[in-house]
Amino acid sequence: MQTGYSIIAMLALAVLGAVTCLLLSRPRQILGTTVIVSALVLGLAAYLWIGVLGAGFVTAAEEWFYVDAFSAFHLIVLTLVFLLCSVFAWVYFSNEAGEHPFSRPVARRFGALWLGSLAAMTLVLVSNNIGIMWVGMEATTLLSAFLISLYPTRLSLEAMWKYLLICSVGIAFAFIGTIFAAAAIQSAGGVQAEALFWTRLASPDAHLDPTLMKFSFLFVLVGYGTKAGLAPIHSWLPDAHSQAPAPVSAMFSGFLLNTALYCIMRFVPPVRNTLGAGFADGLLVFFGALSIVVAAGFIVFQRDAKRFLAYSSVEHIGIITLGFGLGPLGTFAALFHMFNHSLSKSLAFCAVGRLGQQYGSHDMGILSGALRSDRLWGLALLGSILSLIGAAPFAIFMSEYQLLRAAVSDGAWVVLAVFLIAGSVVFVSALGHLIGMAFGDPKSPVAPSRIRLPAVVVVVPALALLLFLGLWLPPWLLDAIGRAVAVVGVHT
């Protein structure tokens, strides 16, 4: 199948781009390369998405690569967020001077690791083999660790070590879960060629061993959940997000967490087939709700803007996980929410990062009066955080509303109450932080900065898209998300 080649082309482009970055000598060329490669990969992902929506699924390399509506939707979100973050990286690093100059070695390291992470995340999303999916996931950890400590300071090294160790152990647990799944396929008489293939694992007549699948899902949930930032195993997340350079934090929150959640969701259909819907859904709802509550508790006390956004990511990942556990309606809301959150959160990290460069701090007390000192990024901060706390008419309001409907139709009243209470706590405390940051008086005079084209390219389309999707969900997108739901959300 011809569209299958675009899968291989995406991977090849990202890897080639990463190697090219190591050879280029000027930082601007490297940043330009990352933007061009991201744009091309986005184009390929869109082409693939259209192919998938037409044919149902696309395979390549003798079914080692398999893209269906669920992974194609994730690919679109990934490549869109990645392009946004790459353009922002151009803006951010062009303004980086003084203590941390964006020198040639730093630029090369950044370009190679950045595009390498893109390749690894793409590999996770397109692999049919759950072993290769795991390899890709582990590769994202190893590649992105040095993105956190791009400038090796004490704090960034501390954050990087925590990230590396906690996530490596988490991913090791996910591997144990993968082995359990492979053992289940084998005990059901699977042959070697298709052992570990997701298509085999998820087929309704797989007849997998229930005990093995139960252990498999527990290990996968805890393992990949560590990387996704689900409470109580999220402890690396606020540190890594606050210490990484802003484009990296934007990418982490914008998509890396979703990649891990994607891996968990790949295990849900086979677990539902063998153990019934209750087991997996109950665990998803529990961890989702717990993450929302824990994050809400921490958000109240945050002073650092990036840590605040990091805990907000824990909250939103919790919301998405919760949605995945609430039936087809909830899964729809979760996927829509994932898109909205990725876009809002990466924009928010971009805004805080850029403003932080001008104010010289990420402390929310110091970052005040952003709208006056920098109209464009101040607007981006205001819009993205309003969107994140679920203010109408932004798209997150719509997805959270759909999630509430799913909870009501599922009769999950406890979950509904937890979600509403924690949501209100976050809303009030985040609004408090936001009003100071956006409308307060600047503590020290900050020179108003000129509005430049690349920054406009980041801010305006993202905000416009969030507003647009909040007001109207086009039927074709509705249909595309609906098909993604059908891949993982079918109850038996």
Partner 1 sequence: MATSLATIHALGLLTCFALLGTSRIGACIRWLSLQGILFSLVPVLTYDDGLTLRIILLAGGNIALKGVLFPLVLLHLRARTNYHREVEPFVGFVASILFGVVALAVSLGLARELQPALSHAPFLMLEAAIFLVSIGLFLIVSRRNALMQVIGYLVIENGIFVFAVITVVETPLLVELGILLDAFVAVFVMGIAVFHITREFGTADVDQLTTLRG
Binding residues for partner 1, rule: CB under 8 A, are: 129, 131-132, 134-135, 138-139, 142, 145-146, 149, 152-155, 157-162, 164-165, 168-169, 172, 175-176, 179-180, 182-183, 186-187, 192-193, 195-196, 209, 211-212, 215, 238-239, 242-243, 298, 301, 307
Cα 224 from Cα 148, distance rounded (Å): 20
Closest-CA residue to 183 (of 158, 221, 211, 156): 211
Nearer to partner 1, 46 or 183 (CB): 183
Query: Are 113 and 30 contacting, i.e. CB atoms less than 8 angstroms apart?
Result: no
Least separation in angstroms between residue 215's CB and partner 1 is 7
Least distance (Å) between residue 263 CB and partner 1 = 15
| CA angle, residues 30, 239, 31, in degrees to nearest 5 | 5
Beta pairing partners, 470? none
Report the residue number, 112 or 370, with the smaller CB distance to partner 1.
112
Instruction: Determine contact, residues 63/73, Cβ cutoff 8 Å.
Output: no
Cβ at position 14, least distance to partner 1 in Å:
17
CB of 220 to partner 1, least distance (A): 14
Nearer to partner 1, 197 or 419 (CB): 197
DSSP letter string, 337-369: HHHHHHHHHHHHHHHHHHHHHHHT--BTTTS--
Least distance between partner 1 and beta carbon 426 (Å): 17
**Distance of alpha carbon 348 from alpha carbon 271, whole angstroms:** 36
**Sign of the alpha-carbon dihedral angle for 112, 225, 211, 206:** negative
Place of tokens 């706390």: 389
Residue closest to 347 by CA, chosen among 145, 87, 30: 87
If the CB atoms of residues 73 and 215 are measured against partner 1, the closer one turns out to be 215
216/224 Cα distance (integer angstroms): 12
In angstroms, the CA 75 to CA 223 distance is 22
CB of 312 to partner 1, least distance (A): 15
CB of residue 185 to partner 1, shortest distance in Å: 9
- Closest CB to partner 1 among 273 and 321? 273
172 or 465: CB nearest partner 1: 172
Q: 449 near 374, Cβ under 8 Å?
A: yes
Closest separation between CB of residue 108 and partner 1, Å?
16
Question: CB burial class (10 A; 0-12, 13-18, 19+) of residue 26?
Answer: exposed
Give the nearer residue to partner 1 in terms of CB position, either 183 or 416: 183
Least Å distance between CB 91 and partner 1? 27
Q: What is the DSSP letter of 150?
A: S
Residues 6+ apart with CB under 8 A from 377: 350, 351, 354, 355, 370, 455, 459
> Is the CB of 142 or the CB of 477 nearer to partner 1?
142
Nearer of residues 193 and 456 to partner 1, judged by Cβ: 193
Q: How many CA atoms lie within 13 A of 378 on its CB side?
A: 24
